[in-house]
Chains A and B, each alone.
Chain A
Amino acid sequence: AQSVAQPEDQVNVAEGNPLTVKCTYSVSGNPYLFWYVQYPNRGLQFLLKYITGDNLVKGSYGFEAEFNKSQTSFHLKKPSALVSDSALYFCAVSDYSSASKIIFGSGTRLSIRP
């Protein structure tokens, strides 16, 4: 069965510092991995995805994520955090065998202090 874990409920980072939001997954086949961001009182917005190819994926707002098959991880990163990055971040996973079921993690609240 598919599963995804976001081990940190909250991540606090000072503005200008690098940030990492962690995600690990479990699927039976090759994973399709996604990151979404949710700002207050808004729906989720797509940030980036890994389907196949280069392990380093670049997305919106300067975010990137690295697919690590051996560690079954897909951590979200940004070299220099902005206060405006403060939001709730969700990792999601699916695979071809899951017949379009998508599993979301529990979310990580990112707080960037000025």
Chain B
Amino acid sequence: EAQVTQNPRYLITVTGKKLTVTCSQNMNHEYMSWYRQDPGLGLRQIYYSMNVEATDKGDVPEGYKVSRKEKRNFPLILESPSPNQTSLYFCASSPGVSGGTYNEQFFGPGTRLTVL
């Protein structure tokens, strides 16, 4: 089954404790992206990647890191989480060398993160 998977689905952590949210897709998509969803703000793009070893900042990259060493994986890293990073996070992927600008995205199920 073609899908985007994220782990963990739920995470409660404390301020300053480094964490990684994994994202994997099995559709051979070039484009991958991370979003956070907050009430009243919709989805905001954190980082995106056009292909392996090619990542770029979205609108809200502060406090996050990503890497794209393999085509299928795009982990989101919070080096020192803070309470304002409590949110619902989505990973997405999209086909096409031209990137995700005109191709529809496939979303993962989401990761609900709480930072105390």
Chain A contacts to B: CB under 8 angstroms = 6, 9, 32, 34, 36, 41-46, 49, 51, 90, 92, 94-96, 98-107
Contact B42 A107 (CB under 8 A): yes
- Do A101 and B48 touch (CB < 8 A)? yes
Contact check: which of B43, B100, B101, B108 meets A104 at CB < 8 Å?
Answer: B43
Residue on B with the closest CB to A92? Answer: B43
Question: Would A95 and B107 be within 8 Å (CB), given that A104-B35, A104-B42 are in contact?
Answer: no
> Would you give the 0/1 interface string for B24-65, flagging 1 where the beta carbon is closer than 8 Å to chain A?
000000010101000011111100101000001011000000
| 8 cross-chain pairs, A with B, having the tightest CB-CB distances, nearest first | A43-B107, A100-B99, A46-B104, A104-B43, A106-B42, A94-B101, A44-B107, A32-B102
Q: Please, how many angstroms separate the alpha-carbon atoms of A75 and B31 in the complex?
A: 27
- What total of A-B pairs shows CB separation below 8 Å? 71
CB contact under 8 A between A43 and B108, given known A100-B48, A104-B44: yes
Known contacts A101-B45, A101-B48, A104-B44; A95/B110 CB under 8 A: no
The digit string for B85-116, where 1 denotes a CB below 8 A from any CB of A, is 00000101000000111101111111000000
What are the residues of chain A within 8 A of B105 when measuring CB–CB? 36, 44, 46, 102
Partner of A100, one of B56, B109, B110: B56
What are the interface flags for B1-28 relative to A under an 8 Å C-beta threshold, 1 for contact and 0 otherwise?
Answer: 0001000000000000000000000000
In this complex, the member of A44, A98, A99, A104 whose beta carbon has the largest number of chain B beta carbons within 10 angstroms is A44
Provide a sorted-by-A list of 27 A–B residue pairs whose CB atoms are within 8 angstroms: A6-B42, A32-B102, A36-B107, A41-B110, A42-B109, A42-B110, A43-B4, A43-B107, A44-B43, A44-B90, A44-B92, A44-B107, A49-B102, A92-B43, A94-B100, A96-B101, A99-B56, A99-B99, A99-B101, A100-B48, A101-B45, A101-B48, A101-B58, A101-B59, A104-B45, A106-B40, A106-B42
Complex Cα–Cα for A100 and B98 (A): 8
Return A48 CB to nearest CB of chain B, in Å.
9
- Say how far B45's CB is from chain A's closest CB, in angstroms: 6
- Say whether A102 contacts B101, CB under 8 Å: yes
State whether A100 touches B31 (Cβ < 8 A).
Answer: yes
